[in-house]
Amino acid sequence: MKIVLVGYMGSGKSSIGKKLAEVVKLPFMDLDSEIEKTEGIAVSEIFSQKGEIYFRNIENKILKKVLDQPDNFILATGGGTPCYGDSMDYILKKQGVVSIYLRTPLKVLVSRLMLEKDERPLLIHINTENELEDFIRKHLFERAFYYNQAAVTIDVVSESITETVAKIILKLF
């Protein structure tokens, strides 16, 4: 089984994905890392040098290449991955793939992302917590249609990574 984690940036896709992979004894893959390997530069550099549209096209191609591999794994996608091109349709229609939406409350996302906004290409221009909250709220509204198509939804509030992984395992196995 391939497990694809979707959700907004800061929802814990990478942290939860790594722990889940360890528990279920599957390899962990991060889509941004796969993109960086293919392109030879950091995601932030792709955004600044080539723009978001170029990035989204590459992201879609690499997502399909990764999902077409025969091996099973846990994949953490980028926050926007399911929302561009036919990415979410591809995830949903691919045999042996289970998608999981890590639904995280706005306030939790704001507190997490305020600490790391300088490392997030889409957030570099934001200066205050209120601006960040408005930005995330707008994005969540726009992206909810895609996120909510996932086969499984897990609410990520204030529990630990281990507790969230336990919730996922209970839903899947």
pLDDT at 163: 94
Question: Is 44 one of the annotated binding-site residues?
Answer: no
Question: Is 32 one of the annotated binding-site residues?
Answer: yes
- The overall average pLDDT reported for the chain is 94
Token pair of 153, please? 């939804």
Give 159's pLDDT tier (boundaries 50, 70, 90).
confident
What's this model's pTM, rounded to 2 decimal places? 0.94
Q: Is the pLDDT of residue 169 over 90?
A: yes
pLDDT at 61: 97
- How confident is the model over 36-53, as pLDDT tens digits? 999 999 998 998 899 989
Question: Is 79 one of the annotated binding-site residues?
Answer: yes
Partnered with residue 28 across adjacent β-strands are: 74
Q: Hey, where are the domains in the chain?
A: 2-172
pLDDT at 152: 97
Question: Is 14 one of the annotated binding-site residues?
Answer: yes
Rounded Cα distance, 6 and 29, in Å: 13
Correct CATH for 2-172 of 3.40.50.970, 3.30.413.10, 3.40.50.300, 3.30.70.920? 3.40.50.300
Neighbours of 110 (CB within 10 A): 19
Among residues 132, 121, 127, the alpha carbon closest in space to that of 79 is found at 121
Question: Is 15 one of the annotated binding-site residues?
Answer: yes
Token pair of 33, please? 């890392």
pLDDT at 115: 84
Question: Is 85 one of the annotated binding-site residues?
Answer: no
